[in-house]
Structure 1
Amino acid sequence: MTGSPTPPPGLRVHHFDTTEEAYTQTQCSDDIRDGDVLVIGPEKVVGFLRAAWPVALTVRHGDLHTFTAPIGRIDGGKYADSARLAADQARQLDVALRDDHAPDAKPTARQIDDMIQVSAEAAARVSGDPEPENPDWKDALDRMTHANTFLCKHHPAWAAAAKAPKPVSTKGHAPRHTDHPDVIAALPALAGLRAAPLTNEHDMGDPSDTDLPVNGYAIEPRGHGLIAAYWLHRGLARRRDDHPDGPLLESVHARFVAAGWAVEPLYPTSVCVFAHRPQPIG
């Protein structure tokens, strides 16, 4: 572990070989203070100490924690200087910060290549058997989400590929949501339940929809980790107090609770289940 020779007044930069070592040292070393920057070059991780929590600002985070909001909204902007110093250190490593922590920064070609590698590594983990209760699987999904967001903004070919035509119909969600990370995370929670085959044009609230009859669950992403899950009968979303299919919303609700999602209360007149995707500690 070494200190940076040119940090801003009051802040230091500490270098480590592994994120495990960085985490341990923040808990036992008096030399590392609140706001100090942590650089783990071999793992391409940069972050800082937030009170007692070592937190990464890079997509890769190893054993460090991650934030669930842009850095400017954390603790009223208390760590703005730490974030700027961390960004300087990340540029020296040619490692990009998560796009929600550096939304206006123009990445280098090497940083874009690194995000392509992150996306590929994370996708390989996520595309295996879904394990929504496994922290490693959830971390891989989080890395893939942020790497793809970064690449869609900064890599024109990647953005074009993301807009490629989707299948005519898919089960459990509209084709346009096939690659949405919140939908990918939600599907394992409902494994074994009937999935409604949907097109992009399906309107689950229109009795005249030509996709009738369609039966089963349907997931819609609502942004920021929130999904709405419906139960369809003959193509229409059913309220909890509709019979005989309405009570199946209870099964959908119970599945998300069991999978560790934060689920909003279900009422007799509810037409869907609102569930918030589990997030890393931050």
Structure 2
Amino acid sequence: MPQPALLIVVALLGLAVGSFLNVVIHRVPRDESLLHPRSHCPACGSEVRNRHNIPVLGWLLLRGRCADCDTRISPRYPLVETGTAVLFVAVAARFGLSWELPAYLYLAAISVALAVIDLDVMRLPDKIVLPSYFVALALLAPAVIAEQSWSAAGRALLAAAVLYVGYFILAAMPRGMGGGDLKLAPLIGFYLGWLGWSSVAIGAFAAFLLGGLAAGLLMLLRRAGRKSRIPFGPYMLAGAFLAVFAGAPIAQWYSSLITPTV
């Protein structure tokens, strides 16, 4: 499939997946079914009509208001859909039509859901994180078989263990990492380990760098204090994707800094 066609297909897929992620983001923290009832207005309970369920376009047609009770619909819905599509396109551009592509598209999808949920309720639900280990293994298994990528698979498993140990130590410290972060860390390690140890190092470091910068900014704006709890999951995931997209050039840049020139 030509690259432009792949990106268009993946963008449309991202919009559809983003629409479903809005349901996941709203219902999973509330322990509600993802299948029943159908999408409805939380204010008046009216079911969303099919034509209004079209990603992004439906929100625009409604002008951000419920068709029945005129209650304001958060712009987060089209933002999640658009953001998922953009991230899907970036992943497709990074991996092309490869065996790895489905696995990293899945990582992109759950990353959007987990980041938004963590920002909302400061929790990374087990219902999303734990099954993702089995999904990741299943989606990368064809790549292992087709490409004989046994070394990458072994490195991925080892990286998962390394990040788990690291986060376990941090979680044991006073005011350390939360349990959700601890459960998410090996999954990120697995995906980054598949790409290489430099990606693991950059992803882990970037998480703390981004988290620290965000915390400093919130304190500067007086939106948080030194004892405030700040969700760390979004920064773990942002650091992971920074490594996915720019791990190689960052590693080369850092190597050029520490390698003496003749």
RCO greater where, 1 or 2, for CA within 8 Å and sep 6 or more?
Answer: 2
TM over 0.5: no
Pick the TM interval, shorter chain: under 0.3
Counting strand residues as a fraction of each chain, which structure ranks higher?
A: 1
Counting helix residues as a fraction of each chain, which structure ranks higher?
A: 2
- TM superposition score normalised by structure 1: 0.24
